[in-house]
């Protein structure tokens, strides 16, 4: 956070005069970040920040019509971005399918030969792959709010998979609770890996508890 503090210490929201025809206002708050109001953004101010490590612009609506409030919000967002970059986290989340493929590539390196004792078996790898197919299908068919597909990790928070067990119990899967528990364990292993790799801001997904002492259909 020290780097973020130092880099933001001199910002003053200086108004820029040399702007494009589509930009109504532009106020520079650091070398990389500008608060703008454009012909397309309506009445609200937006933050635009160049993220050098990923060679992309980070853009976010500040949801305010007041300049001072916009500058204050923008400085907070810029500090968050810089902190995440300094921690090695990606600002632009990977598509879910790509992150899953990267995780499977990592787990594939752990497959052991028959004479080895460390690592995972090829059968275990196939199980992990199958579990994550269900995870991907759930995010694509149900979505965060149960209405639309989710394709990027940054659209998932810790509560986004609360409906996963119900989804897997339903037609045409009719999965048993022991199967669902194993799938959820695999999904959270992937989630923890993605978090450590800087691909995701959530370390674990929350799942409603499945009782070990009840029948496969009982759930709370």
| Judgement on whether residues 70 and 116 belong to the same structural domain of the protein | no
| Judgement on whether residues 11 and 73 belong to the same structural domain of the protein | yes
| Judgement on whether residues 62 and 24 belong to the same structural domain of the protein | yes
- Does a structural domain hold residue 215? no
| Judgement on whether residues 69 and 107 belong to the same structural domain of the protein | no
| Judgement on whether residues 13 and 74 belong to the same structural domain of the protein | yes
- Does a structural domain hold residue 50? yes
118 vs 150, higher pLDDT: 118
| Judgement on whether residues 132 and 176 belong to the same structural domain of the protein | yes
Share of the chain above pLDDT 90, in %: 57
What does the H/E/C string look like for 45-69?
CEEEEEECCCCEEEEEECCCCCHHH
Over residues 71-99, mean pLDDT: 89
Is the model's pLDDT at 8 over the cut of 70?
no
| Judgement on whether residues 29 and 117 belong to the same structural domain of the protein | no
Q: How many domains does the chain have?
A: 2
76: containing domain: 2-86
Of the candidates 151, 76, 138, 110, which has an alpha carbon nearest to the alpha carbon of residue 60? 76
- Does a structural domain hold residue 165? yes
- Does a structural domain hold residue 30? yes
Burial class (CB in 10 A: 0-12, 13-18, 19+), 155: middle
| Judgement on whether residues 70 and 122 belong to the same structural domain of the protein | no
- Does a structural domain hold residue 70? yes
Q: Residues 138-195: pLDDT tens digits?
A: 998 865 444 456 788 888 889 999 999 999 999 899 999 999 999 999 999 999 999 8
Of the candidates 69, 211, 47, 186, which has an alpha carbon nearest to the alpha carbon of residue 120? 186
| Judgement on whether residues 77 and 116 belong to the same structural domain of the protein | no
Question: Which CATH number is 138's domain given?
Answer: 1.10.150
């Amino acid at each position: 956070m020290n780097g973020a503090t130092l880099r933001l210490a001199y910002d003053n929201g200086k108004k820029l005069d040399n702007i494009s025809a589509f930009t109504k206002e532009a106020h520079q708050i650091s070398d990389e970040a500008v608060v703008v109001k454009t012909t397309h953004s309506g009445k609200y101010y937006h933050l635009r920040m160049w993220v050098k490590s990923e060679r992309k612009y980070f853009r976010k609506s500040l949801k305010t019509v007041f300049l001072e409030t916009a500058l204050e919000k923008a400085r907070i967002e810029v500090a968050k971005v810089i902190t995440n970059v300094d921690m090695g986290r990606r600002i632009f989340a990977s598509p879910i399918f790509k992150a899953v493929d990267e995780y499977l590539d990592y787990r594939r390196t752990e497959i052991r030969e028959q004479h080895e004792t460390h690592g995972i078996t090829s059968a275990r790898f196939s199980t992990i792959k199958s579990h994550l197919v269900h995870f991907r299908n759930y995010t694509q068919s149900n979505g965060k709010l149960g209405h639309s597909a989710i394709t990027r990790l940054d659209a998932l928070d810790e509560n986004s998979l609360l409906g996963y067990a119900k989804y897997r119990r339903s037609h045409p899967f009719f999965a048993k609770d022991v199967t669902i528990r194993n799938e959820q364990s695999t999904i959270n292993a992937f989630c923890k890996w993605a978090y450590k790799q800087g691909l995701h801001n959530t370390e674990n997904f929350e799942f409603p508890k499945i009782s070990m002492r009840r029948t496969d259909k009982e759930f709370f």
